[in-house]
Amino acid sequence: MWAVEAMVVLNVVMVALTIGTKALRGARGRRTKASTDKLESALDNSLITGEIHPDLLSLNDREKDLLAILMVEYLSVLSGTERDRLVGLAKESGLVESYFDRLGSRHRWRKARAAENLGYFGGPAAVPPLTPLLGHPDETVRAVAARALARIGTKEAAEELAETLNDPSELTRLRMAENLERIGALAVDPLIETLEGEAAGQARVLAARILGYLRAAEARPALRRAMIEGQLTDLRAQATLALGKIGNPEDVPALQEAAGDEEWAVRAQAANALEMVGDVSTIPALQGLTLDREWWVRLNASRALANIGPEGERALARVLEGADRYARDRAVATLEERGVTRRVIGELAQPGERGDGAKAMIGAMIRAGSTKYLSRLASTMPEGPERRKLSEMLEGSAERPAAQEASERDPSETLQESGGQTP
């Protein structure tokens, strides 16, 4: 009997606690809404009059956090003098000073919140106190501090972030790189210093990558040196790709030199870079890379030629006439993937140079033994002169047995197609 009574009492207590908790939450929510409404009204009044409202002075910590939330929301829609006035109000109301003090808190969440808000309101003066947090043991605190410095966006902030590219944590390095990209042009000089300085290898690799993302033309000399002289393969590869993203035709000779690098990863990125530059003078170098012993290099070079335009497509057609079977197969696959083959078939019946060029390319494919795709098109195309011409060209050519075709494929190509990714 006593057990039943105990259970009843326990259930009553649990119900009472649940009701009490809900009531407390409701009351707290109402108080928060009342405080928010009061602060919002005072903030609106201050922005209109240009003078700080008395309700924004002498706030407790909770009210300061509510005011900071409101101000961050306002910053997303304000600009120009109104935005500057809002930042000034943050200082006059004591928010900035309060968050400077909180940076010394023992609680990581208070540090993180203070750093986040100083990124909005602290301005250049917040850079020195935020910088030590980049080395904080907690990953979240480091990330928030980095984001705050990026939001401040001064050259000094960029210099401090660039220093952290040496951090032993890969996650931290990647976050710092992301925030340096956000800073933009002001980060270029610190990144060049990192690239050419005595930083660890991974820091220099990241610096090269970010400079490429930023399309930093002033970094070209440093990137060329890193591409040719860098000790790390990753550094040479990233510097090569960065030069491609910048896309200055004057770098083509250096990129062609990189195309002869002893490491395939650099050669693969050289093909990507030459494609990005997009100059027809790069076609001979790319055509040479289609014969590379590494599958990724051949793949990138073939795609680059297909994307350069008609002259690149004609260069791929010349690869079809070559002796390297793997290069021919890759060229055919690229022409099919890029829709070039289908488009060229549509030009077979046209008179003059265009029709002759189409016949030459399709003829080269047939002589290379790559007729499976062509035969499928010939059987599915609508009736017309193009279909008749293609059928005539295929007549007398026998499709290679599937077993023979499979046995002749490049083993590395089979492996890469099953699970690799383009560098």
Phi, psi of 307 (to 5 degrees): -90, -10
Half-sphere exposure of 241 (CA within 13 A, CB side): 20
- Number of domains into which the chain is organized: 1
Size (the chain), residues: 423
pLDDT in tens, 323-347: 888 888 899 899 888 888 888 888 8
Place of tokens 């193009």: 386
Per-residue CA distances from 371 to 156, 345, 391 (Å): 61, 13, 11
pLDDT digits (tens, 9 = 90+) for 46-94: 878 878 888 888 888 888 888 888 888 888 887 788 888 888 888 888 8
* pLDDT tens, N- to C-terminus, the chain (423 residues): 666 666 766 776 676 667 666 666 666 667 778 888 888 888 888 878 878 888 888 888 888 888 888 888 888 887 788 888 888 888 888 888 999 999 988 899 999 999 999 999 899 999 999 999 998 998 889 999 999 999 999 999 999 999 888 888 888 888 899 999 999 999 999 999 999 987 778 899 999 999 999 999 999 999 999 999 988 999 999 999 999 999 999 999 999 999 999 999 999 999 999 999 988 899 999 999 999 999 999 999 999 999 988 888 888 888 888 888 888 889 989 988 888 888 888 888 888 888 888 888 888 888 888 888 888 888 888 888 888 888 888 885 644 444 444 444 554 444 344 344 445
Mean pLDDT for the chain overall: 85
Q: 264 lies in a domain?
A: no
Q: Is 19 inside a domain boundary?
A: no
Cα(194)–Cα(216) distance, rounded to whole angstroms? 14
- 422 occurs within a structural domain: no
Residues 296 and 422: beta-carbon distance below 8 Å: yes
**Domain-located, residue 95:** yes
Domain that holds residue 118: 59-182
Domain for residue 295, yes or no?
Answer: no
Model-level pTM? Answer: 0.77
Specify if 359 maps to a domain: no
Are 410 and 420 spatial neighbours (Cβ–Cβ below 8 Å)?
no
In a domain, 149, yes or no: yes
Residue in the block written with tokens 């270029």: 188
Q: What is the CATH number of the domain that holds 149?
A: 1.25.10.10
Q: Does residue 293 contact residue 410 with C-beta atoms inside 8 Å?
A: no
Residue among 320, 307, 296 at smallest CA distance from 274: 307
Is the residue at 322 inside a domain? Answer: no
